[in-house]
Amino acid sequence: MTVNLRSKMFLELKKKETLEQAKDYAFDYLNKALERSPFPSNEAIINLKNFEEPFPKSTGDSKNILEHLNRYGADATVASTGGRYFGFVNGGVLPVSIAARWLADVWDQNSALYVMSPLASKLEEVCESWLKELFGLPDRFVAGFLSGSSMAILCGIAAGRYRIFKNLGWDINTQGFYGAPEIRIVAGRQAHGAVAKAVALLGFGLDRIEWVDTDSQGRILLSELPDLDESTILILQAGHVSSGSFDDFESICAKARSAKSWVHIDGAFGLWAGASAKLKHLTKGIDGGNSFSLDAHKTLNTPYDNGIVLCDDSEALTQAMRTSGSYMVHSENRDGMAYTPEMSRRSRGIELWAAMKYLGRDGIDELVYGLHQRAVQMSEELKAFDFKIVNEVVFNQVLVICDSDIMTNEIIKNIQSSGECWAGGAIWDGKAVIRISICSWVTTEEDISRSARAFVAARSKALSA
Ligand SMILES: *Cc1c(COP(=O)(O)O)cnc(C)c1O
């Protein structure tokens, strides 16, 4: 690096200009996102062509670069931090966790090893302990902090795979799959796509999954559950990604326990129901699970990416994630990488800690229950406008069906182009549905009413087309 380039960057640090500039844009954005159309305008999307330029040969200017990014970038974002974005299960962001994330980004801490960041190690430890308390899990549970539920599901199943093989006298790490005893994978027919992905990545083969039939809400039918045994990994779900439904953990885990099967519970957004006094009944019996996957970036409203794996078998998880290297310095302190597939990792425990410390148990309860209340309000208002709701609104998901698939898809298109709110589609029981996820603390009663009116307008427009 030339002396000139280095001095230029030092100057930017000293004058604070670059970070100040970003801060100003950020404040502007956060306020605008509350009122703006959730999806970018056509003009904003067309303007993205301003990023199509030759790779610069020489050094640029931070001020101009940020200016460019903000001018053409901000308006082309999806305003999922606003109150009327109901697409996917995205979740908003708590101000305190954005701020903590900013600081953490400046600190640029690698949370792989304690010696790389004692702070990151300590806050992971604190989050682990608070999460166990929040969900009423025994002390033997350990947590890994990773990008999201897709990774967390992979870790949970990998830990189960390690443990089951070990119990059968086989070391999967050293002996691999060839000649190994058989492991069965049992999952509900309506499991999230990330489950199948993890199963495929771990080498079991999708065709070997024993799919269990589900009821009208996507819950595993107890009567259809095959006999379980000690070589089975059973995957359950807390929060169906469309209907929001929960498997009957109490009955199913009891069976799995007595059969000595490994139970993984995919609770990406739904597990948080266990943190609400009024919704806790949905997760009753989860303590019968061996591993859990969940996302703080969904229901808890931390920034991306903030996934968590919880596992009751520390040895199985850490053995499944084992790495070695002569330069690695392990100590008696927590080394975050021991619980995840990744080595270098940003310190996502920092913003998770900030969110949990800020909300406390009461605040988390209020946040989670509030999402449910808004979902119930949405379904009631839509029903009053003669929309048909096809799911039991047990948590934060509302599924709307119209007279025909064509009509449903037309209404989705109209909603999405209305600029009033944004909801996506899904297939439910073979038919097209509108899928509404209420996952942001920002969403108010008024946002819901305004959005319900936007549904009515979208239907009128479709009928008159
Ligand atoms: C979102 C989700 C996933 C995938 O989680 P990522 O954080 O996107 O990797 C898995 N299962 C369920 C039920 C989900 O809602």
The backbone torsions φ and ψ at residue 235, rounded to the nearest 5 degrees and listed phi first, read: -115, 120
**Residue 418 — left, alpha, or beta (φ > 0 → left; ψ -120 to 50 → alpha)?**
alpha
**Alpha-carbon torsion 164, 166, 168, 170, what sign?**
positive
State which of 145, 147, 240, 295 you would mutate to test the pocket of ligand 1, scoring each by most atoms of that ligand within 8 A of its C-beta. 295
State which of 80, 90, 149 you would mutate to test the pocket of ligand 1, scoring each by most atoms of that ligand within 8 A of its C-beta. 149
Which residue's structure tokens are 């999230």?
192
Of the CA atoms within 13 Å of residue 456, those in its CB half-sphere come to: 13
Radius of gyration of the chain (CA): 24
Contacts of 404 (CB under 8 A, 6+ apart): none
Residue 11: per-residue pLDDT = 87
Q: Which amino acid is at 157?
A: I
The C-alpha atoms of residue 162 and residue 125 are separated, in whole angstroms, by 24
Using DSSP, state whether 389 is helix, strand or coil.
Answer: strand
Residue 329: per-residue pLDDT = 73
Residue 328: per-residue pLDDT = 73
- The rounded Å distance from CA 294 to ligand 1 centre is 8
Of the candidates 21, 14, 10, 13, the one whose C-alpha atom is nearest the C-alpha of residue 67 is 21
Nearest CA to ligand 1 atom 2: 268
Which tens digits make up the pLDDT trace of 191-221?
A: 999 999 999 999 999 999 999 999 999 999 9
First to last CA, the chain: 62
Note whether 345 and 336 are within 8 A (CB). yes
Which residue's structure tokens are 């979208």?
458
CA torsion 93-94-97-101 (nearest 10°) is 30
- The rounded Å distance from CA 301 to ligand 1 centre is 14
The C-alpha atoms of residue 442 and residue 183 are separated, in whole angstroms, by 45
State which of 150, 199, 397 you would mutate to test the pocket of ligand 1, scoring each by most atoms of that ligand within 8 A of its C-beta. 150
The C-alpha atoms of residue 239 and residue 358 are separated, in whole angstroms, by 25
CA torsion 377-379-385-387 (nearest 10°) is 170
Nearest CA to ligand 1 atom 14: 268
Note whether 147 and 141 are within 8 A (CB). no
Strand partners, 246: 238
> From the alpha carbon of 269, which atom of ligand 1 is closest?
15
Residue 12: per-residue pLDDT = 85
Helices marked H in 108-204: 118-135, 149-167, 172-175, 193-201
The backbone torsions φ and ψ at residue 142, rounded to the nearest 5 degrees and listed phi first, read: -125, 160
Tokens linked to 379: 């379904």
The C-alpha atoms of residue 183 and residue 165 are separated, in whole angstroms, by 8
> From the alpha carbon of 267, which atom of ligand 1 is closest?
13
Residues in the chain, pLDDT under 50: none
Residue 330: per-residue pLDDT = 74
Of the candidates 382, 307, 387, 297, the one whose C-alpha atom is nearest the C-alpha of residue 339 is 307
The C-alpha atoms of residue 254 and residue 235 are separated, in whole angstroms, by 14
Which tens digits make up the pLDDT trace of 419-436?
A: 999 999 999 999 999 999
State which of 88, 146, 192, 240 you would mutate to test the pocket of ligand 1, scoring each by most atoms of that ligand within 8 A of its C-beta. 192
pTM over 0.85: yes
Note whether 421 and 38 are within 8 A (CB). yes
The C-alpha atoms of residue 213 and residue 224 are separated, in whole angstroms, by 6
Contacts of 128 (CB under 8 A, 6+ apart): 141, 142, 143
Nearest CA to ligand 1 atom 5: 149
Note whether 286 and 135 are within 8 A (CB). yes
> From the alpha carbon of 153, which atom of ligand 1 is closest?
10
Helices marked H in 284-348: 314-320
Q: Which residues line ligand 1 (CB under 6 A)?
A: 89, 148-150, 192, 194, 239, 241, 266, 268-269, 295, 307
Q: Give Cα 455 distance to the centre of its chain.
A: 27
Nearest CA to ligand 1 atom 1: 268
Note whether 75 and 44 are within 8 A (CB). yes
